[in-house]
Structure 1
Amino acid sequence: MTTLETSAPTGQEPPPVRDWPALDLDGTEFDPVLAGLVREGPLTRIRLPFGEGWAWLATRYEHVKLITNDPRFSRAAVARGQVTRLAPNFAPRPGSLAWADQPDHNRLRKPVAGAFTVGAMKRLRPRAQEILDELVDALVHEGPPADLVERVLEPFPLYVVSEVMGVPDTDRDQVHSWTRQIISLCGGAEAADRAKNGLYGWITDIVRARARSAGEDVYSMLARAVARGEIGEEEAVGLAGPLQIGGEAVTHNCGQMLYLMLTRPELMARMRSRPDERGPVFDELLRWIPHRNTVGLARIALEDVEIAGHRIAAGEAVYVSYLSANRDPEVFPDPDGIAPDRDPNPHVAFGNGHHYCTGAVLARLQLELLVDTLLDRLPGLRLAVPAEDVEWRRQTMIRGPRTLPVTW
């Protein structure tokens, strides 16, 4: 369905507004609606299932990088009005890095930056490996077949993120229940709001309780920053929520990676035959996998900006698609193919600009540990069902297999 609404003229007619539903896609299929938008032009217009009006969509690598680096496009301004969006609920919280512009963004990120550095991840690695080994030991002890999602891919990121954040063991299952509901599209706004209220109420209590903690966990770091007056309590809570939720993405990204290896023998052979050279393959899979439905968070143009021959007027909403940017043939030859030794590979799977994913190094560590450990510990790893019988998540923002039954 399209409508021919108009925008400020630049000598070029604005593209029609395309409805973009959140499709339930099987496997690693690239979203056909997004593929059509890419063909239509570098800048198109979309209407998502919730919110109001329409928004611009940039699909080419060049323009995605431009918009995400340009201070004329504001995340903070989105909170001042309704925009078309994927999620039913919309309530940016004070302190949320995702909705902060500079210089606030750096001020908010500073208290937790030390928890996500390369050095911090090196220190975390032995503990993360220990957690993973315990899960895989139990898997090996019980023997095949097994569901990798249930037994390893879900619990491992939850335990690791909980370790980094400082979640007590007794609270981890409840926290996981909240985070899963928050990223789900099932249950509507009420269910999502209940989960958010539960999680953010719990975070508030734990930040207050750790005001005098000397711990190096994120909640202790935030509590000390509040006590020093560097950030407010509301900001600390808003900062922590998305970091706590981030483990969900690792589960589903790794699920897609393993599914690809299990259904493409040449890819599995490459990973097994050259274990010391898996790094470039991880980068290529991060570039290639369609890790989410539609798009993430919008920006608002603070002034008129011309891109690709169209004028984006001040006050109009703009989305970028990192998925389509990662398939731009101008940057990635044979973009729809998986090239394990692609070099260079300047993918934007973790975002770009000052909104580059805070937990990118942590996510990469977990993905590498998961794949390395499972391939090394489970010889002959293969699907226990036909590929077409693997069940995929439905009604969710982050795509991935719901189950991954394997044998070895």
Structure 2
Amino acid sequence: MTGITEEPGPLTGQAPPPPVRDWPALDLDGTEFDPVLAGLMSEGPLTRIRLPFGEGWAWLATRYEDVKLVTNDPRFSRAEVTRRQVTRLAPNFAPRPGSLAWADQPAHNRLRRAVAGAFTVSAMKQLRPRAQEILDELVDGVVRDGPPVDLVERVLEPFPLTVVSEVMGVPPADRDRVHAWTRQIISTSGGTEAADRAKKGLYGWIGETVRARAVSPAEDVYTLLGAAVARGEITAEEAVGLAGPLQIGGEAVTHHSGQTLFLILTRPELTERMRARPEARGPVLDELLRYIPHRSTVGLARIALEDVELAGRRIRAGEPVYVSYLAANRDPDAFPDPDTIHPDRDPNPHLAFGNGPHHCTGAVLARLQTELLVGTLLDRLPGLRLAVPPEQVRWRHKTMIRGPRTLPVTW
């Protein structure tokens, strides 16, 4: 562990607080679990951390049951974070009104209703044929050109971004610049200025688009938002805050599916199982969702609104708290032998898409895309395998969401 900060001793009769640990955003290659997080987990279920930006320190909950409690307990507020400079990974901190990420109940439900219809199971079933068509066109080009190809460039980036753009209602002519903005927003390179420019560009474009869709007959998300604003259910500012994170969601699918395919293609037993039992691919993909370390450090904080006892310690009102879904998914009390991929793990109540009110809005869409990507590539590219040794695959650095930069394959 690095960067240990001791604080003055506790009051008489109280256990001393754990030391504050500096948690740098390590540039990790492959699917290695963050060694800093592993060390924090070994120290106890509730530790204290300091991230590269923001101010002060925050509690970190890593145990499965504690993570579920914090994320589903109204005593821990997301909205309160917007009034603070909490220690964080992102260089830029400019939360927008209307963002689901920063809303507490009942505002959260009011905002979520404006877009929920676009992400239901029924809506995803209707989307599936079009998503498959988009994917088939990309794979047709890969087959036509022959091996080797970089799957990230040819399929894993364009497919989720095209699908998300169609769900959201981004015109084809605008997709390249929208992608450039979303890619910069999830990057930690370029500093505050670059992130701020990207957010201003994206959110300005979203605002114009929502205003233009107020009377549109389409059924995309920007039209839903435009109509909700026109009915007075949400404000124009809230519509922009709602749409931004949904638009960025395509980036997460790109990086997660890259890690998924890397694991499948570097573990012969997984490759064989996925090919031999296509009807049973779902549980394997679910186990990889649990196993894959999809992000750097942690996501968004919460603030305790009152004193709360957790894991034998008292979190005082006003103190920030982070949870680690990655750690919860490796809790041996919830997942026996957690550091091993068990394709038949059952039950598998992983928290890869979050928990409680802030469970990922686009979870069903993300599952659909990953399922189509893996199944189509395995079915259409016989003998699919890496074209380079695993250690030569290049990985993304300076980013909040981990994944391969390139995935060279042959077949």
Give the TM-score normalised by structure 2: 0.98
Question: 1:24 matched to which residue of 2?
Answer: 27
My pick for the range that moved more, 295-304 or 1-10, is: 1-10
**1:155 aligned to 158, 177, 180, which one?**
158
Question: 1:247 matched to which residue of 2?
Answer: 250
C-alpha deviation, 1:308, in angstroms: 1.1
C-alpha deviation, 1:5, in angstroms: 2.3
Find out whether 1:145 has 2:145 as its counterpart.
no
Match runs of 1:294-373 below 5 Å: 294-373=297-376
Find out whether 1:214 has 2:217 as its counterpart.
yes
**2:259 aligned to 256, 261, 275, which one?**
256
- AA in 1 matched with 2:217: A
Contact 2:331–2:338 at 8 Å: present in 1 too? yes
Distance 2:8 2:391 in 1: 43
Contact 1:6–1:14 at 8 Å: present in 2 too? no
C-alpha deviation, 1:294, in angstroms: 0.1
**2:377 aligned to 374, 379, 392, which one?**
374
**1:69 aligned to 63, 69, 72, which one?**
72
Unmatched runs of 5 consecutive residues or more in structure 2: none
**1:3 aligned to 2, 5, 12, which one?**
5
Contact 2:10–2:16 at 8 Å: present in 1 too? no
- AA in 2 matched with 1:343: D
Contact 1:293–1:399 at 8 Å: present in 2 too? yes
**1:135 aligned to 118, 135, 138, which one?**
138
Distance 1:20 1:150 in 2: 31
- Provide the secondary structure at the position in 2 that maps to 1:101: coil
Contact 2:91–2:192 at 8 Å: present in 1 too? yes
Runs of 4+ in 1 over 3 A off after TM superposition: 6-10
- AA in 1 matched with 2:17: P
Give the TM-score normalised by structure 1: 0.99
Distance 1:263 1:315 in 2: 46
**1:171 aligned to 169, 174, 186, which one?**
174
C-alpha deviation, 1:6, in angstroms: 5.3
C-alpha deviation, 1:259, in angstroms: 0.2
How many residue pairs are counted as aligned between the two chains?
A: 408
Distance 1:294 1:385 in 2: 29
Distance 2:89 2:355 in 1: 21
Distance 1:308 1:394 in 2: 34
- Aligned-residue identity in percent: 80
Q: 1:385 to 1:221 in 2, by over 3 A?
A: same
**1:234 aligned to 227, 234, 237, which one?**
237
For residues 359-388 of structure 1, the C-alpha deviation after alignment (integer angstroms, 9 at most, x for no partner) is 000000000000000000000001001110
- Provide the secondary structure at the position in 2 that maps to 1:278: helix
Distance 1:271 1:5 in 2: 51
Contact 1:8–1:312 at 8 Å: present in 2 too? no
Distance 1:221 1:6 in 2: 53
Distance 1:392 1:289 in 2: 14
- Provide the secondary structure at the position in 1 that maps to 2:177: helix
Distance 1:143 1:27 in 2: 26
Distance 1:116 1:155 in 2: 20
Distance 2:371 2:15 in 1: 47
Q: 1:6 to 1:368 in 2, by over 3 A?
A: farther
- Provide the secondary structure at the position in 1 that maps to 2:353: coil
Contact 1:20–1:33 at 8 Å: present in 2 too? yes
Distance 1:262 1:375 in 2: 10
Distance 1:90 1:176 in 2: 20
CA-based RMSD of the aligned residues comes to 0.9
Contact 2:97–2:238 at 8 Å: present in 1 too? yes
Question: 2:283 matched to which residue of 1?
Answer: 280
C-alpha deviation, 1:8, in angstroms: 7.1
Distance 1:341 1:138 in 2: 34
C-alpha deviation, 1:11, in angstroms: 2.2
- Provide the secondary structure at the position in 2 that maps to 1:246: helix
